[in-house]
Amino acid sequence: MRNFLAALFAIVLATLGPSVAARADSCPAAGFVRSAGQAYDRAAAAGSSAAFAAAADRYSDIRALSLFALGNHRSDLPKARESEYFRLTRDFIGGILKDHGEGFRGGDLQVLDCTGSGGILTVTTRATNGDKIVFRLASRGGSFTVKDVNMKGVWLAQQMRSTFVGTIKRTGSIDGLFKWLRS
């Protein structure tokens, strides 16, 4: 019985192993994710929040991330202040990524898994330093944009939403969020 279970386990591993590698190798977003990872790696090497903000601006949908972060307070954002809010959020993202940028150090990202449907892909990668980084991407017309990134178990967009909504509740208005983002 023990030999049978060992043989069965070996067959299961042999069957699963290539399928994971095949999914990773055939990932349509592999080049995009590696390019984004290299941009974040360069920003980490520079140690600059402005470099992280520029990388986020190039590879992410800052507008969508910013609006998501407002949660049910989205309607409180005056149309006339949207561009200021997007700029402040971009700068906030740059600062957060700089503070946690070590996770982006490590050179080229190895794509481990790539799954998705309906224009949304989840790409799981591993940096050369061993850290796992998960990208949630949107696909539009053959190009991609980062919708969210998970490092060390924390999703950036969800963390932003928690922080921004908490700040609005604590200060009593979206103006309080603007003041906090400027500080």
Tens-level pLDDT at each residue, the chain (183 residues) = 333 333 333 333 333 333 344 455 689 999 999 899 888 888 888 888 999 999 999 999 999 999 999 999 999 999 999 999 999 999 999 998 888 765 566 567 899 999 998 889 999 999 877 888 899 999 977 799 999 999 888 899 999 999 999 999 999 999 999 999 999
Q: Domains for the chain: give ranges and CATH numbers.
A: 2-182 (3.10.450.710)
DSSP state letters, the chain: -HHHHHHHHHHHHHHHHHHHHHHHHT-TTHHHHHHHHHHHHHHHHHT-HHHHHHHHHHHB-HHHHHHHHTGGGGGGS-GGGHHHHHHHHHHHHHHHHHHTGGGG-SSSPEEEEEEEETTEEEEEEE-TTS-EEEEEEEEETTEEEEEEEEETTEEHHHHHHHHHHHHHHHHSSHHHHHHHHH-
Strand order in the sheet with 143-151: 110-117, 120-126, 132-140, 143-151, 154-155
